Chain A
Amino acid sequence: GAGVSQSPSNKVTEKGKDVELRCDPISGHTALYWYRQSLGQGLEFLIYFQGNSAPDKSGLPSDRFSAERTGGSVSTLTIQRTQQEDSAVYLCASSLVIRGSSGANVLTFGAGSRLTVL
């Protein structure tokens, strides 16, 4: 697609419920990132996928958080047994990894999924 698409744009759920957030990256972008944006906290790295390599899960805050990327394209971030502190905007970004320019490639972000846990 023309940009990074995320759904739902807004999600309100009750504490203890599971939620799934979806990201559809730019076609051809091999790298996909999930970040969390909390009020006054900036952006927090969650997880990274690159091609067929094992994902970098070093940013996931607890084992209630998981993500998968099917077929090297669409990704789903799952939060189990949601807590109120999970309320945030979850941003997905993708990039085209060009050999020899690691670190310099621009991330393209989606509009985010705003999660509110009551």
Chain B
Amino acid sequence: AQSVAQPEDQVNVAEGNPLTVKCTYSVSGNPYLFWYVQYPNRGLQFLLKYITGDNLVKGSYGFEAEFNKSQTSFHLKKPSALVSDSALYFCAVRDMKRTGGGADGLTFGKGTHLIIQP
């Protein structure tokens, strides 16, 4: 079975400082990895994905994530946080050995609240 862990319920960062939101995964095959962001009363918005190739993936709003196969991690990072980055962040995985749940169906982590303090 595939699973995703986001070990921190909440991350607090001062504006202008670098931020990291952690994600680890477990799959039986090769993973496709995603980050989504959810602002209050909004649906999830796609940030970035890792499919294959370069382990460092760049996405929307200056975010990036690094795929680390040996540590089974896909942490989300940004060099300089903005107050507007405050939101709920979800890591998700698609196990390419999995059947069912839809061709693009994802297993999501529980989410991490990112709070950027002015």
Contacts and interface: CB of A to CB of B under 8 A. Distances in A.
Contact of B102 (A42, A48, A104, A110): A48
B51 A104 contact: yes
Given A4-B43, A48-B105, A56 B110 contact: no
Contacts of B44: 43, 91, 93, 107, 109
Contacts of A97: 103-104
A60 interface: no
A41 B109 CA distance: 8
Contact of A43 (B46, B49, B94, B108): B108
Given A42-B90, A110-B43, A111-B41, A105 B103 contact: yes
Given A42-B111, A109-B44, A111-B42, A58 B104 contact: no
Interface residues of A, number: 29
Given A103-B32, A104-B49, A109-B44, A43 B90 contact: yes
Interface string B99-118: 01111111111110000000
Given A48-B101, A48-B105, A103 B43 contact: no
B45 interface: yes
B69 to A, nearest CB: 17
Nearest to A104: B51
Contacts of B103: 31, 50, 95, 97, 102-103, 105
Given A31-B102, A43-B108, A91-B44, 4 more contacts: A91-B43, A107-B46, A108-B46, A111-B42
**Which 7 pairs, one residue from A and one from B, show the smallest C-beta to C-beta distance?**
A48-B102, A109-B43, A42-B110, A43-B108, A109-B44, A102-B103, A105-B104
Interface of B: 9, 32, 34, 36, 41-46, 49, 51, 90, 92, 94, 96, 100-111
